[in-house]
Chain A
Amino acid sequence: MAILKIENLTKRFGGLTAIKAFDLEIEQGQIVGLIGPNGAGKTTLFNAITGVYPCEDGEIVFSGQSLKRIKPHLACELGIGRTFQVAKPFGGSTVLYNVMVGSFCRVNDRRKAERKASEVLEFVGLWPKRNTLGKSLTIADRKRLEVARALATEPQLLLLDEVMAGLNPKETEEAIALVREISRKGITLLIIEHVMQVIMSLSDKIAVIHHGEKIAEGVPAEVAQDEKVIKAYLGDEYVFSSSEGN
């Protein structure tokens, strides 16, 4: 059964159509990659799913519930976690404090929240840095903290917005392992990523968005061969010359 179903979704900012008649279905437990050139509408789609922007047309259904008019904090309560492309740690607070804010989504007691947050920090490997202030973390750790905070809200669906951008190869590898671990826990993942090897190796399915429209969808190998995708990323000449070469 599809845990998230997006049908005919359209989002306009004044005269600009950021997302046009977008469809996507995500099955429970899948890892779905969302790729597309800069400004294609990937983050806008995340914002639409989590209720940051209301959408004009179409429907988003999460576990049988419509998300069309939902507020961001209610989306989180329903079980949709997200990270931000530019990490937004609570800079003046410790890592543990940051994650506890997330775990308070499910519990009211401070001790329970602390226990939950500690488990999550252990899981993502930030436990040794629990007393570090959010603002003194490295980029890699900030991204990790974003994931930890979102995990602490106990999501069923987790939206990761470029958690691997700006990481070095070793950090990227660790991040991939973490995503796999999260998936093994049964959490469904929708991932925006620019690093192609990462998205190709992780995803069960990839959707490609360009100028707000979905131009391709399928298993990684299929999508990588798709002419429209190559065009969108590299321009018309590339497709032309490559077909000429054949």
Chain B
Amino acid sequence: MNGLGRTWCWIASPKHYIGLFLVLLLLAFPLVVTSSFYIQIMIMVLFFAYLSSCWNIISGYAGQLSIGQAVFLMVGAYTSSLLFSNLGLSPWIGMLIGGLLAVVLGLLIGYPTFRLRGAYFAIATIVWAEGLRKIVENTEYIGGLKIGGAEGLTIPLIHHSLANYQFVNKTYYYYIMLGLMLLIIYLTYRIDRSKLGYYLSAVREDEDAARALGVDVRKYKLMAMAISAFFTALAGTFYAQLLLYIEPVDIGGIALSIEMLLIGVIGGRGTIIGPIVGAFLLVPCKELVRTYTGTTYIGAHLVFYGAIMVAVILFFPQGLERPFRRCYLGLARWLGQTERAEDEGR
């Protein structure tokens, strides 16, 4: 069979074309919905789906509960923004440098703390993240470099151009984030199917047994940390360019780290699509709750998160990925059957 034929066969299976259809829906969303309010909500959905997927690699697959992911976001955002406003370096390049710095930081955090297990590791990540945020918050200048302290940093608006990562219309940001999210899904899929994925699961389930089977536990934890840190930092640059303003408490605070974790846990940790399912359910609800109760009850969305969390733990302790997958496969089977019935009818 030639390449085209094989591609067609792949698409013709309901299991694949439902997925493709969902991606097409996402691609078409800004063409149909033009209200920038809804596009903004969707950008946040994709943003959190992405971040939670990054968290999922270290905390879902490798099982090392990180509650300090926001620190990588902060590193990414500050690195690219400072390089852009001081040296005029394109945020696209700054983004990669920020990613690499986040990897270095991730390894620095991971190397000593991966000896700790369970809650102790989680506490260590909080301490690191909060400590660094406090430092940034209380530092106005490093040498001659203005980093803005608690007031934050404004990114100069130059003009609409791809190289500047600045656009007149939110739709551009939507597509960038969609691309990033699809990238992380693909990456997670590849990890899930590879030696790395098997080893990370083994580490999560039983470190001693994994070691006896030849798994270099520390090395694989560090690899998971590096991947997670790098991609989290990329989202930092995105966030900075989207808002053109960053402040430590907003981008490096524990609230954001906890949000990534909640979405991941509610969606289903250690699964490819869990964090995506979590984000698509929780973030729109959160944004709507916030819009309608925002000024009167600040933090109402967190109460809402808590309520959903309790419900999910009671009814779907493995996360919402399970029921989602069941529906998805059920639909695929049903479509497959109807197709066959139509073929036979002809």
Contact = CB atoms under 8 A, between A and B. Distances in A.
Interface of A: 50, 52, 71-73, 76-77, 81-82, 84, 88-93, 97, 100-102, 104-105, 108, 110, 113, 149-150, 152-153
Nearest to B208: A88
B198 A150 contact: no
Contacts of B202: 90, 101
B210 interface: yes
Interface string B195-229: 10011011001101111111111000000000000
B305 to A, nearest CB: 26
Contact of A90 (B209, B211, B214): B209
B201 A108 contact: no
Contact of A97 (B198, B208, B217): B198
Contacts of B340: none
Interface of B: 193-195, 198-199, 201-202, 205-206, 208-217
A233 B195 CA distance: 46
Contact of A101 (B194, B199, B217): B199
Nearest to B194: A110
A123 B209 CA distance: 21
Given A90-B209, A110-B193, A105 B201 contact: no
23 contacts: A71-B216, A72-B212, A73-B213, A73-B214, A73-B215, A73-B216, A76-B212, A84-B208, A88-B208, A88-B209, A89-B206, A90-B205, A91-B205, A97-B198, A101-B202, A102-B213, A104-B195, A104-B214, A149-B209, A149-B213, A150-B212, A150-B213, A153-B214
Contacts, number: 70
Contacts of A153: 213-214
A93 B201 CA distance: 8
B265 to A, nearest CB: 15
> Which among A76, A91, A97, A152 has the greatest number of chain B C-beta atoms within 10 A?
A76
A156 B324 CA distance: 45
A105 B198 contact: no
B188 to A, nearest CB: 15
Nearest to A91: B205
B195 A108 contact: yes
Contacts of B205: 90-93
B212 A101 contact: no
B212 A90 contact: no
